[in-house]
Structures are given as C-alpha cells and as structure tokens.
Amino acid sequence: MSKKFEELTISDDFMFGIIMRQSEYCKPFLETILGIKIEHIEYPKTQETIDLDLRAKSVRLDVYVDDAENTVYNIEMQNSSNPNLPKRSRYYQDMIDLNILDKGCDYEELKNGIVIFVCTFDPFGQGRHYYSFENVCLEDSGLKLNDGTKKILLNTKGILDDVNPRLKKLLDFIDGQQPEDEFTQELSIAVESARHSKKWRLEYMNLELKLRDKYREGEKHEKSESAKRMLADGDLSIEKIALYTGLSIEQVKALHETLKNESSKVLI
C-alpha cells in the first residue's frame, strides 16, 4: 500500500471495497457485468470474512453480497497477474460453500455462487474483456453440470469487441479513463466523496500500519529461520550469524539455546 489515500482510484482494492459496499453502486455494477436485472442485494456482514479454521489463512471476501434469487456474489479487484488466479477463484467458491455448510445447512441448500474477478490485466492473454466459466461435459460442451457455480474474470485491458457499450465504458473507467456515461460518472463522484471521508482515511491508515507490522513479523521470522539453519549447520560463529542475518547476538544466542533444548528433548 504505497499510495496516499487521496490518490486511490476505483481500481485500488481499498477504494473498490468502499464503493462496492454501497448497494446503490454494487447493484448496477453487477447488473452491468451479468446483463440482468437484480431485484435487490443484501450484505450478510459489513465485512465478510469466512470463519473456518482449516490451518490456513482466512479468506477476506472483498465484496460478499446475496440477492433475492438465492445467489451469492463474490467480487474482488485483481491488480497483479498471478498464474494461480483460476485456483484462487476455485478456493473462494469452495470456502463460500463450506461456510454455508458449517452453519448446519444441507448441501441441497447451497446457494448459486458467482465469483467475479475484475482484473487490470489480461489473465489469459487473448484480448477479451470478458471470460466466463461454468462446469460442462467434456464430451458434449452443450451439456452443463448445473452445479450453480460460475466464475467471471473481467479484463480492463481487453481489445476485442466482445462486450456491450455499457460494460466497455465501465471497464474503461476502472482502467483509468474518464467517465463516459451516467453510471461511471456516479462512480467517479462516489470515489471523490470517499477520498474526503475522515473515517475511510483513518481506516486506510490503520490497515497500512497493520500490513507494515505483518511485513516486519514476516521479515523477523525469516531472519530467525535463517539463523536456525546456520546454527544447525555449525560452521559459523554466533557473531557471524548475527552479522549475516541482522539479528542481535542476544537473539542468536536465545535461538541457539532453543535448538539445544529441542535436541535434548528428542534424545530423551
């Protein structure tokens, strides 16, 4: 998070989350992407974080909304190309389903799920603005599994004439171009309004501090692991290990004692 708050645009995760948590923008956003009318949308929680402990990181669903048609939408902004993006979409869908089942529902009560990634890059390099996927029979592509799941990956850098003008203007706006219709103008005003919000500025600053703390924790952990490997190898002095890892001599000594204690327990 190197940007200042007042520099954020709708393509930034934090700002995108602010705007999409407002139904007056999220509803037409979904309608534009899906080409359908949605009666209304509901937010199960202000910030939906699936609360399953599977010895893995919790999944932060940037926008998690439910409509009157028994469909759950997960919308997320993607700004960096990742070859594992398809598996990420699968993971999100699985976690949504597990969250429903974890609350005592039968699998027959699973809702339809649509995972939407808005990418500021082409995830498949084919020039399309719109990539959508459903489970179909490999022997007969006209035969759908109808398991209620769908993944949509949007590309703001598309070059093909494959979407309607309204969606094209929306994707162009997300990509940094000026608003060209009523909806994108409304989004632009909403972004500008959010930039002047003291509440969101403070939350952004707090999030930035938390991310820095996590980065420092990760950096410290990596230094400790490197020091442990050096100590286990036995070729370097404590002073040199401290010099190479950036840890203090006292910290390296403490790690050394920990390793010795662990070795003693194994021998016993």
Quick one: 236 and 171 in the same domain? no
Q: Please determine, for residue 50, whether its predicted confidence score (pLDDT) is greater than 50.
A: no
* DSSP letter, residue 43: -
129 with 188, same domain: the answer is yes
pLDDT of residue 263: 66
Mean pLDDT of the chain: 83
Helix-helix angle 13-20:23-34, to 10 degrees:
100
Per-residue pLDDT of 215-261, as tens digits, reads: 677 777 788 888 888 888 887 888 878 887 888 888 888 888 887 77
- DSSP secondary structure string, 140-177? -TT-B---SEEEEEEETT--SS-S-HHHHHHHHHHTTP
pLDDT (0 to 100) of residue 58: 39
Return the pLDDT at 155. Answer: 98
Is the same domain home to 222 and 259?
yes
Residues 159, 80 share a domain: yes
The answer as to whether 81 is a domain residue is yes
Confidence grade of residue 2 (pLDDT, cut at 50, 70, 90) = low
Residue 8 has pLDDT above 80, yes or no: yes
Co-location of 32 and 160 in the same domain: yes
Domain interval for residue 244: 217-267
CA distances for 184 relative to 25, 49, 102, 111, 115, angstroms: 10, 28, 39, 30, 22
How far apart CA 167 and CA 4 sit, in angstroms, is 29
Classify residue 16: in a domain, yes or no. Answer: yes
Instruction: Enumerate residues 6+ apart whose C-beta is below 8 A from 28.
Output: 183
pLDDT above 80: residue 105: no
Tell me, yes or no, whether 208 lies in a domain. Answer: no
**pLDDT value of position 63:** 60
208 pLDDT tier (thresholds 50, 70, 90): confident
Q: Are residues 157 and 251 in the same domain?
A: no
Residue 11 maps to a domain: yes
- Whether residue 222 is found in the same domain as residue 190: no
Q: Do 234 and 114 fall within a single domain?
A: no
Tokens of 149: 């799941």
Amino acid at 167: L
Work out how many domains the chain is built from and give that number.
Answer: 2
In a domain, 211, yes or no: no
Domain check: are 31 and 109 in the same one?
yes
The pTM of this model reads: 0.73
CB 131 within 8 A of CB 171: no
66 and 140 inside one domain: yes
| Residue 93, pLDDT above cutoff 60 | yes
CA distances (Å), origin 49, targets 3, 55, 56, 204: 25, 15, 13, 18
Residue 9's alpha-carbon distances to 31, 71, 120, 175, in angstroms, are 21, 28, 12, 9
pLDDT digits (tens, 9 = 90+) for 120-163: 999 999 999 999 999 999 999 999 999 999 999 999 999 999 99
CA 118 to chain centre: 11
